[in-house]
With several copies, the nearest count.
Chain A
Amino acid sequence: MATLNMVQAVNLALREEMERDDRVLILGEDVGQDGGVFRVTEGLLDRFGKGRVVDTPLAESAIVGTAIGLSLYGLRPVVEIQFLGFIYAAFDQIFAHAARYRNRSRGRYTCPLVIRAPYGSGIKAPELHEESSEAFFCHMPGIKVVVPSGPHAAKGLLLSAIRDPDPVLFLEPTRLYRLIREEVPEGEYTIPIGKARVARQGDDVTVIAWGSMLERVMKALEPFNAEIIDLLTLSPFDSETVLGSVEKTGRVLIVHEAPRTCGFGAELAATIAEEAMLSLRAPVLRVAGPDVPVPLARLVDYYLPDAARITAAVEELLRY
């Protein structure tokens, strides 16, 4: 079995799925000849040709809107938004259309499409290249949101996303792209959308994270007896796994890099406060990015949740 990083794992998933299903097409800026700015689509143009790996003009709304049309027509487009920070121009297409065609037509027309986007901070890139705005898309009925935390999850989840009958936003944490290598099987395996993974079992505190924060949390909390949940799907999220763990530990920390206010941590905390209140022995804490735009390189270390903040929060929880 090959040891791959996340770029390679996503590339493998795309290649295999395109071989298996000729309805799968790729569209995006620089995804063809260039193989994508992170090289995620490298080699696919050569293998599948221009009809299936389509370099587009520079227009995010059009990339998503065209994918909607392709999917209405019965194809399964996988589009790349070069960085999540450029998806906002496609917000209308995603929310007013991709999310609603099924409902609007009572199932007659559907949008089985995937939007892949590199996201997250910590790569010292220019403005808008390090956004973590996943929460917006979790407030969109009709859309699913998936965030792998490593190469193995990336491949299995991407296959599920492409096969999903509904639109899926698939967020790839850029900081992890080449940071982690894992064994990634060739061929068929899927990881179901909507299921979280208990990344480490533990008893004293439940820590919930996703994407690049998972790696931070795992490292930072080695000395603790913490149950660490890798959420994997944010929408619809796996409340069963979350609530089960909270009932066991009675203490919860949520870690995300997006700004705190109205980040996805808010929904997790609210769900816990609504459905597991009686199990709680301590406040539900969030370690999150502050309510500021992601800063440029020289301030970014103050922005991203780090081991010190994560440990401090867990220690605080354990004092209850």
Chain B
Amino acid sequence: MPTTILETFSVSRLDILNPEGDCDEELLPPLSKEEIVRLYELLVLSRAFDERALSLQREGRIGTYPSIRGQEAAQVGSAYALQPADWIFPSFRETGVHLTMGYPLASLFQYWAGDERGLVCPEGLNILPVSVSVGTHLLHAVGAAMGARYRNESIVMAAYFGDGATSKGDFHEAFNFAGVYRLPVVFICQNNQWAISVPRGRQTAAQTLAQKALAYGFDGIQVDGNDVFAVYRATRDAVDRARGGGGPTFIECFTYRMSHHTTSDDADRYRSREEVEEWKSKDPILRLERFMEKRGLAGEAARREIGQRTRTAIDEAVRAAERMPPPERRDLYRSVYAECTPRLAQAMEGGGNGDA
């Protein structure tokens, strides 16, 4: 039908470091050697934490746990582009973000062992409690961003979520509000290709997730989510834009969930081993190791030392978490309101006709 074209759009993808460890020099973000080694250490720490959590779960020492294996670069690379004063709104699969920002390891173990106190974010950081309800927390990032704008504070909000979350109504409403008010939010989607058993292609008929930003009048970009440099660079640009008043950005980190959905899941029921094998060769840590090798950064000894440090930190954290006294019965009631209602106070004292 011959008609007038009102607008044209495009959606692009950023790749910097390939699986062989070769990189596009022009795109490589300006990171010092120390910073690159630090990124590497954070990737290693994330993976090691993850492995330990999985084995603790098998031993019954923590509860259901969602592995981040394969997604370390998406998490570390993006979080590394944030300032400590920025606020983070995670879903439940962002351990690498927590670790990058310096969240106490012991608290994470404590939380996954079923203790709410693990979600008490230390002062000086603002990582909100994990959002179990998929996609619903994006609105909180939008609201906080409106707050920062209102207060004239140059704080950026980073909201993390998965490919599945893009189907939720709250995703849409959050993106729309962010666009309308041009708020300082960076929306970071880890498209790990699966929402439990539902593959990305059946989550939406859109060719990319990144293009969804077009519906809201701001930019979306897809990045190789297993490429820590690409993720870092895209996030840093988005954060700068947000801080400078340029409004929101949507970053689709194209990555892969290497493990089961959680420890309660059996991914072999719904996806092929070949697919998983194929992604193994795109491992985010391996390619950074190769890159460092080629550049002569962090040789074997240094890497061994990093491994050692990481293990020690994790061991200590597990011990600390398990040493914490269990929560008390009264903790059940204490934090529902600033002040207990009469009925809660009565229940806390063990009264109330058989209340706990």
Which A residues have a C-beta under 8 Å from some C-beta of B? Answer: 25, 29-30, 32-35, 37, 51-52, 54-59, 61-62, 64-75, 77, 85-86, 89, 92-93, 96-97, 101-110, 124-129, 141-142, 144, 165-166, 194, 236, 239-240, 260-261, 274-275, 283, 285-293, 295-300, 302-303, 305, 309-310, 312-313, 316
Contacts and interface: CB of A to CB of B under 8 A. Distances in A.
A69 B150 contact: no
B198 A73 contact: no
Contact of B353 (A108, A287, A303): A287
Interface in B172-212: 173-174, 176-177, 180, 195-198, 202-204
Given A86-B133, A290-B344, A309-B356, A57 B148 contact: no
B286 interface: no
A35 B269 contact: yes
Contacts of B174: 62, 65
B140 interface: yes
Contact of A127 (B113, B132, B327): B132
Contacts of A71: 143
Contacts of B121: 105, 108-109
Given A66-B177, A108-B121, A260-B352, 4 more contacts: A69-B147, A86-B134, A109-B129, A313-B353
Contact of A65 (B140, B180, B197, B353): B140
A51 B270 contact: no
B129, B139, B342, most chain A CB atoms within 10 A: B139
Given A108-B120, A127-B132, A34 B177 contact: no
Nearest to A57: B167
Contacts of A67: 143
Interface stretch (B29-37, B237-245, B330-338): B330-338
Closest 6 CB pairs of A and B: A69-B143, A65-B139, A297-B114, A73-B147, A62-B173, A236-B341
Contacts of A312: 354
Nearest to A42: B269
B69 to A, nearest CB: 19
Interface string B237-256: 00000000000000000000
Interface residues of B, number: 77
Interface string B254-273: 00000000001100011000
A174 to B, nearest CB: 12
Given A69-B144, A101-B129, A291-B341, A59 B197 contact: no
B347 A298 contact: no
Nearest to B170: A61
A57 B132 contact: no
21 contacts: A29-B198, A58-B164, A62-B177, A65-B136, A66-B146, A71-B143, A72-B140, A73-B143, A73-B144, A74-B147, A103-B335, A104-B129, A105-B335, A106-B335, A107-B338, A124-B64, A141-B336, A194-B341, A236-B341, A240-B342, A290-B333
Given A55-B202, A126-B64, A128-B133, A106 B169 contact: no
Interface string B85-127: 0010000100000000000000000000111110111000000
A33 B143 contact: no
A302 B338 contact: no
B150 to A, nearest CB: 6
A166 B335 CA distance: 11
A216 B104 CA distance: 39
Contacts of A75: 147, 150-151
A43 to B, nearest CB: 12
B296 interface: no
Interface in B150-178: 150-151, 157, 164-165, 167-170, 173-174, 176-177
Given A290-B356, A296-B116, A57 B177 contact: yes
Contacts of B176: 57, 59, 62
A35 B266 CA distance: 11
A64 B140 CA distance: 9
